[in-house]
Chains A and B, each alone.
Chain A
């Protein structure tokens, strides 16, 4: 939390840095500097986002429809029922065990023998921190695993709740994109009480690592919700564009997601079971037999869905948030104090 002076300092520091980085000079640079401030006050848009979404080219009419980090951190909280947040992976897997299609184990309570046995029965597992996001701290373990190795893993993961999951075997079509990571799609669902619908979707593939998260170096691209065809070039957080995947050489644009209609139905059915969460980002992987639920996000990132196509996705959601700010007075009171103080 910051006070107004600190916020103004951070804002100007970042915008000056980015203006220089983009090679903008002269009067144009001054105009953009003040425009950054204006967007910060009017749309809660950080300088980084201002340049990422090229706000300097857009009029307010378009700017107001972008989903920003503000929505992710503050906006979505207004419309989520207090206490209803599935932030740990174990609870998610329990809630959606019917579409998860894999085994899992709570590492914090398991013994070394149990973990070794779990690894050996599954063949390959992934160890994830229960509450982390953005692909932090993910480990992969392959069988055979002795009790000593398992004990070493337990020591390594001590102090944080870890969950061990069976490694998802993705279908050959998705493995063609990047064989080292499980490539998933992020589907954003929105439920305003009249039934869930899909707002946008993005494809995430790894870039040689085991995670497909964009924040962990992965590549994202937008998917056309109607047809399941990737309709934009791949883009990473540095805004580099990829026509073909740098690791496998597979063409990203025009790639057809397998089982797409099935995946949409799965997401809609699942989203309808949690109406207390209005906006949910679903991570869906694709096995040989159909879509597999990986995890869900209560505060999904927005860059994946909006960055590559250059079109805002938030018109409906933002209007809904604006109308329903006081839906949960408890949230409203808590957020009212702090909403302007984050950076």
Chain B
């Protein structure tokens, strides 16, 4: 990528502030404030506008988790060699929370995959290493062996997992039946006890298998205590939804099923991982019987956790890192 002329960047920012309806003088002030926030809090202009930083004081701003800086922050309390970046390793470690069968496609041959996939109605192919819902596809056994072979060939040489398709709770299917709707939970574990800091429900939208927000999904904040959706749904484009645009089910006030069980499950699992990670983002789905573990992220995205209720979630994390984190490496 070529270098961006900083002046052009300022002009761009000025334009996007003007679009929000601020006057000329006010917009200049906000653009200057953006530069200040970039230096002080590492906030990108998009995030500045996303969290409405122009309306906040530094006292409040400092506790927002910032996308650009989170890796630096989390790295200081991480003690992992990177093996848990692979979803297969996560499944192997937390086997009793997964609640479904899975195989490593690259470790077994086509015959075993065929046996696994054809004996089930629907299976999900997932890259072992990846994010934002990239490379995920669903295979239905009704499509036949030839289609399976084609799929197998298309992912040959790549690390892939094949797992049973999660059949979600009927209440969540009412929101959007086309995708498995999951909850992202942010936890902080100090080795003695685990604390759930925030939770967000993600729903898919028209024609998407994934519920990832980067894939046109809709999200809404969950009240951690009760498991009730406590904000409007919204997407990354900033559209607000009181009801889901496809199904028409009311989002705000929706009660998540098995929420207390899910909290217990996450607390257990986080304690088990506490020697490697202090801060984790958990993806949890809900079947008719129980909550099931989908995956965890060692450096969870900050936007999905903060954008819906516009509240900073970093206060405890930052205090924890200040107290226990490894020292920053000096830049060379």
Partners in one complex: yes
- Beyond A231-B232, A243-B226, is A253–B55 a contact (Cβ under 8 Å)? no
Bound-state Cα–Cα, A251 to B254, Å:
10
| Other-chain contact of B252, A28, A244, A253 (Cβ < 8 Å) | A253
B57 CB within 8 Å of chain A: yes
Chain B, range 215-247, C-beta contacts under 8 Å to A = 223, 225-226, 228-232, 242-243
Q: Is A229's CB under 8 angstroms from B253's CB? A: yes
Of the listed stretches A56-64, A89-97, A318-326, chain B binds: A56-64
Interfacial chain B residues near A137, Cβ < 8 Å: none
Closest Cβ of chain B to A269, distance in Å, is 25
A255 CB within 8 Å of chain B: yes
Q: Is A254's CB under 8 angstroms from B250's CB? A: yes
B137 CB within 8 Å of chain A: no
Interfacial chain B residues near A231, Cβ < 8 Å: 231-232, 242, 252
Interfacial chain A residues near B253, Cβ < 8 Å: 229-230, 251, 253-255
Interfacial chain B residues near A187, Cβ < 8 Å: none
Interface string of A44-68 (1 = CB under 8 A from B): 0000000000001111011000000
B59 CB within 8 Å of chain A: yes
Bound-state Cα–Cα, A227 to B228, Å:
19
Bound-state Cα–Cα, A43 to B42, Å:
31
A164 CB within 8 Å of chain B: no
Bound-state Cα–Cα, A227 to B242, Å:
8
Q: Is A243's CB under 8 angstroms from B232's CB? A: no
Count B-side interface residues using an 8 Å CB cutoff: 22
Bound-state Cα–Cα, A256 to B54, Å:
33
B36 CB within 8 Å of chain A: no
Q: Is B59's CB under 8 angstroms from A57's CB? A: yes
- Beyond A56-B59, A59-B55, is A243–B242 a contact (Cβ under 8 Å)? no
| Other-chain contact of B242, A57, A62, A224, A232 (Cβ < 8 Å) | A224
Q: Is A229's CB under 8 angstroms from B250's CB? A: yes
A233 CB within 8 Å of chain B: yes
Q: Is B228's CB under 8 angstroms from A243's CB? A: yes
Closest to B255 in A: A251
Bound-state Cα–Cα, A243 to B256, Å:
14
Interface string of A239-263 (1 = CB under 8 A from B): 0000110000001011110000000
Interfacial chain A residues near B110, Cβ < 8 Å: none
Bound-state Cα–Cα, A74 to B328, Å:
55
Interfacial chain A residues near B56, Cβ < 8 Å: 57-59, 62
Closest Cβ of chain A to B221, distance in Å, is 11
Bound-state Cα–Cα, A151 to B242, Å:
53
Q: Is B54's CB under 8 angstroms from A61's CB? A: yes
Bound-state Cα–Cα, A224 to B250, Å:
13
Count A-side interface residues using an 8 Å CB cutoff: 22
B324 CB within 8 Å of chain A: no
A98 CB within 8 Å of chain B: no
Bound-state Cα–Cα, A61 to B145, Å:
63
Q: Is B60's CB under 8 angstroms from A233's CB? A: no
Interfacial chain A residues near B232, Cβ < 8 Å: 224, 231
Closest to A244 in B: B226
A238 CB within 8 Å of chain B: no
- Beyond A224-B242, A231-B252, is A62–B225 a contact (Cβ under 8 Å)? no
| Other-chain contact of B254, A59, A62, A227, A254 (Cβ < 8 Å) | A254
Bound-state Cα–Cα, A230 to B253, Å:
9
Closest Cβ of chain A to B219, distance in Å, is 16
Interfacial chain B residues near A251, Cβ < 8 Å: 228, 253, 255
Closest to B55 in A: A62
| Max count, chain A CB within 10 A of own CB: residue among B26, B228, B229, B243 | B228
- Beyond A57-B59, A243-B223, is A254–B229 a contact (Cβ under 8 Å)? yes
Interfacial chain A residues near B229, Cβ < 8 Å: 254
Bound-state Cα–Cα, A58 to B226, Å:
28
Interfacial chain B residues near A58, Cβ < 8 Å: 55-57, 60
Bound-state Cα–Cα, A227 to B225, Å:
26
Q: Is A57's CB under 8 angstroms from B60's CB? A: yes
Interfacial chain A residues near B55, Cβ < 8 Å: 58-59, 61-62
Q: Is B250's CB under 8 angstroms from A243's CB? A: no
Q: Is A57's CB under 8 angstroms from B252's CB? A: no
Interfacial chain B residues near A230, Cβ < 8 Å: 253
Bound-state Cα–Cα, A118 to B133, Å:
69
Closest to B61 in A: A57
Interface string of B26-66 (1 = CB under 8 A from A): 10000000000000000000000000001111011000000
Interface residues of B (CB under 8 A from A): 26, 54-57, 59-60, 223, 225-226, 228-232, 242-243, 250, 252-255
Interface residues of A (CB under 8 A from B): 28, 56-59, 61-62, 224, 226-227, 229-233, 243-244, 251, 253-256
- Listed by A's residue number, 5 A-B pairs whose Cβ atoms lie within 8 Å are A57-B57, A58-B57, A59-B55, A226-B242, A253-B253
Extra 4 A-B pairs, beta carbons < 8 Å, given A58-B57, A62-B55, A243-B225: A28-B59, A62-B56, A230-B253, A254-B250
